[in-house]
Amino acid sequence: MWMRRDRLLVTLTLAAVFSADVYFVLLPKLRDRYLRGGCTCPAAGGNNTSRRNSGAPHWSSNSSTVTRGDSGVRLGVITASTETGGKTWKSKLERLFAHPLYNIRSPEAGAEEVLLQPEELMSYYRRKVSRWERHKKYYNEVAAASNISFPDREVVFDPEATWLKFHLGINKYALYARDDPNIEHLLQDMRKTAIINADYTQDEKALKGGCDCSQVVKPSGHHLKLALKLQDFGKAMFKPMRQERDQETPEDFFYFVDFQRHNAEIAAFHLDRILDFRRVPPVAGRLINVTGEILFTTHNDDLRSVFFTSPANNTCFFAKCLYVCKTEYAVCGNPDMLEGSMSAYLPGLSIAPRISIPNPWIRSYTFTGREEWEVNPFYCDTIKQLYPYNSGSRLLNIIDMAIFDFLTGNMDRHHYEIFTKFGDDGFPLHFDNARGFGRHSHDEMSILAPLTQCCIIKRSTLLRLRLLSQEEYRLSDVMRESLGRDALQPILTEPHLLALDRRLQRVLRVVHKCMKKLGEPQVVAIDFVESRRATTKPAGNR
């Protein structure tokens, strides 16, 4: 009898121990692995190793070195307690940028991987300053003879100017480093530095005399933009406010006749930085006095001639057949103050040439036409055979750009630009985002055609998207916080912020569908090497 009772007692004891082990040890591990994804992403400062222990270095997520994934790679994200060592964060944005995914060590950029050398850049701009001073003297003489006065603001060329540091920081991987403190200083300077000159941009000047106002699709859109020169000799492109933030693009509008929005330019910069692409030049919001900072500073007679006072006694201006030909398209101050976006100029084309390339998924810019990708679901198979999309990272970068555009709702990506110095390894610049954030109530799935048709995505991009879908890093929350630092905040209305979360889930569902159809190894391209501390060795060491 005692033997049976002892066996029963031992059995109950073992069962209790086993249950406690399952509950307190095994279940948390399974929960972390399957519910949270079980991150295999690289940890900041970890030892460098590839999945085959090749000793390869960490690569930036913008690197052109990519390989297909294998079944040993588990995709997910690090849980909050793992990534921060239990630290409590008051700011979701700071917590996000402290995550290991945002601290992947980029390769050291050699001389050929940096866009410009300091001596070359300084010499170039000193010549431009000298030419500006000569022209200014001439303008002042002509103005005095015509009884026109300009504000007397001298150009102060500072070799330590934030815009110069921005130009010197451009390399083949991104426009700026993740942790570059100069970017915040540059945003502040664009908001506050005095404006000494206003002019039409070069592409607008090129259209002068060639604009046909009978065309449905204008040569450069429906937007008036100006090139503003700042007192430290920096330049910014100013896009004035044309639409209230709570206005949606009407359903019947074609994308090519939609208004462009200054707040979309600002929001696109912040989103690009949060996604860690870093391909949008810095953009800041600014309130400008159109009389004192544009009319009284411009040396362009055409620009000066289009200023007028509206019936509401507001100061307005429009473009002379550069975009549209009627005063109905004018922008007006209140009575003189007008908000707009200030986008930092990139280095001049003469010192840092760029090439403009048609987007393979370009849209038809007519009322009835359709492009091949819109009718051929296997269109990507053809693109994969064509140079430069048949090797390197160009196609993956185009898919990054499509995801970025889908999140913003921008259908107007007809071309993209790359720096010619970096050749095929160069990243596409995410220029001209003002047609984004037009309709928060609609998700235009056709923008995702490169992803849905090609079924391939960078591993780093996918990991960050998954991270931003989690509650502790939710995309709408970090965007709201980031945009809250801009002088013109709120930049986006709540419906637009919430639309980001909804669209992010749609992107993840598309990727999941691709994986289900083709398998993870065929869908996920490895564009950086995992650290030893965060990596589980694949079975069989494949």
pLDDT tens column, 507-538: 999 999 999 999 999 999 988 654 433 333 33
Residue 244 binned pLDDT confidence (cut-offs 50, 70, 90): confident
Binding site for ATP, by residue number, is 239, 343-346, 417, 432
Q: Give one DSSP letter per residue of 462-487, joined into a string.
A: HHHHHHHTSGGG-HHHHHHHHHTTST
Between 467 and 64, the higher pLDDT residue: 467
Please check the confidence at residue 353 and state whether its pLDDT lies above 80: yes
Ramachandran region, residue 487 (left: φ > 0; alpha: ψ -120 to 50; beta: rest): alpha
Residue 104 binned pLDDT confidence (cut-offs 50, 70, 90): confident
> Using one digit for the tens of pLDDT, what is the confidence trace for 178-189?
989 999 999 999
CA distances from 18 to 4, 13, 28, 32, 96 (A): 21, 9, 15, 20, 38
Please check the confidence at residue 38 and state whether its pLDDT lies above 80: no
Mean pLDDT of 129-144: 75
Place of tokens 């040439």: 353
**Residues ≥6 apart with Cβ < 8 Å to 94:** none
DSSP assignment, residue 531? B
Per-residue confidence (pLDDT) for residue 368, from 0 to 100: 72
Per-residue confidence (pLDDT) for residue 131, from 0 to 100: 87
Closest CA to 399 of 376, 426, 440, 428: 428
Return the minimum-mean-pLDDT range out of 62-66, 89-93, 126-130: 62-66
CA distances from 175 to 172, 246, 453 (A): 8, 31, 29
Per-residue confidence (pLDDT) for residue 64, from 0 to 100: 45
Please check the confidence at residue 8 and state whether its pLDDT lies above 50: yes
Binding site, by residue number, is 239, 343-346, 417, 432
Between 438 and 154, the higher pLDDT residue: 438
18 by Cβ neighbours in 10 Å (0-12 / 13-18 / 19+) ranks as exposed
Mean pLDDT of 136-156: 68
Considering the chain, what percentage of its residues have pLDDT values greater than 70?
A: 71
Per-residue confidence (pLDDT) for residue 111, from 0 to 100: 80
Rounded (to 5) percent helix, strand, coil in the chain: 40, 10, 45
Per-residue confidence (pLDDT) for residue 4, from 0 to 100: 60
| Structure-block tokens of residue 370 | 């359709």
Per-residue confidence (pLDDT) for residue 355, from 0 to 100: 95
Buried b (16+ CB within 10 A) or exposed e, 289-322: bbbebbbbbbbeebbeebbeeeeeebbbbbbbbb
Mean pLDDT of 490-514: 97
> Using one digit for the tens of pLDDT, what is the confidence trace for 71-88?
334 555 444 444 455 566
Residue 55 binned pLDDT confidence (cut-offs 50, 70, 90): very low
> Using one digit for the tens of pLDDT, what is the confidence trace for 374-402?
999 999 999 999 999 998 999 999 999 99
Mean pLDDT of 476-491: 96
Per-residue confidence (pLDDT) for residue 245, from 0 to 100: 81
**First-to-last C-alpha distance (Å) of the chain:** 57
Beta bridge partners of 307: 317
| Structure-block tokens of residue 336 | 């003189």
Binding site for Mn(2+), by residue number, is 432
Beta strands 524-526 and 457-458: pairing type? parallel
- The amino acid that residue 522 corresponds to is Q
Q: Give one DSSP letter per residue of 272-326, joined into a string.
A: HHHTT---SPPEEEEEEEHIIIIITT---HHHHHTEEE-TTS-EEE--SSSS--S
Neighbours of 495 (CB within 10 A): 12
DSSP assignment, residue 171? B
Return the minimum-mean-pLDDT range out of 82-86, 205-209, 277-281: 82-86
**Highest mean pLDDT (candidates 235-244, 278-287, 363-372):** 278-287
Per-residue confidence (pLDDT) for residue 152, from 0 to 100: 66
Return the minimum-mean-pLDDT range out of 126-130, 417-421, 507-511: 126-130
Mean pLDDT of 44-54: 34
Please check the confidence at residue 542 and state whether its pLDDT lies above 50: no
Q: What torsion do the CA atoms of 207, 212, 215, 220 make, to the nearest 10 degrees?
A: 10
Q: Taking all residues of the chain, what is their mean pLDDT, rounded to a whole number? A: 80
Residue 322 binned pLDDT confidence (cut-offs 50, 70, 90): very low
Return the minimum-mean-pLDDT range out of 5-19, 331-345, 348-362: 5-19
Per-residue confidence (pLDDT) for residue 52, from 0 to 100: 31
- The amino acid that residue 430 corresponds to is H
How many angstroms separate the CA atoms of 456 and 70, rounded? Answer: 13
Per-residue confidence (pLDDT) for residue 48, from 0 to 100: 35
Active site residues: 412
Q: In what order do the strands lie in the sheet with 315-317?
A: 307-309, 315-317, 331-332
Please check the confidence at residue 195 and state whether its pLDDT lies above 50: yes
Between 71 and 279, the higher pLDDT residue: 279
**pTM for the predicted model, two decimal places:** 0.81
Per-residue confidence (pLDDT) for residue 425, from 0 to 100: 84
Mean pLDDT of 244-255: 68
Return the minimum-mean-pLDDT range out of 55-64, 231-240, 384-393, 462-471: 55-64
**Highest mean pLDDT (candidates 41-55, 137-151, 353-367, 494-508):** 494-508
Per-residue confidence (pLDDT) for residue 239, from 0 to 100: 94
Mean pLDDT of 57-72: 45
Residue 302 binned pLDDT confidence (cut-offs 50, 70, 90): confident
Mean pLDDT of 59-82: 46
Residue 223 binned pLDDT confidence (cut-offs 50, 70, 90): low
Examine residue 490 and say whether the peptide bond preceding it is cis (omega within 30 degrees of 0).
Answer: yes
Do 327 and 310 form a contact (C-beta atoms < 8 A)? no
Buried b (16+ CB within 10 A) or exposed e, 46-85: bebbebeeeeeebbbbbbbbbeebeebbbbbbbbbeebbe
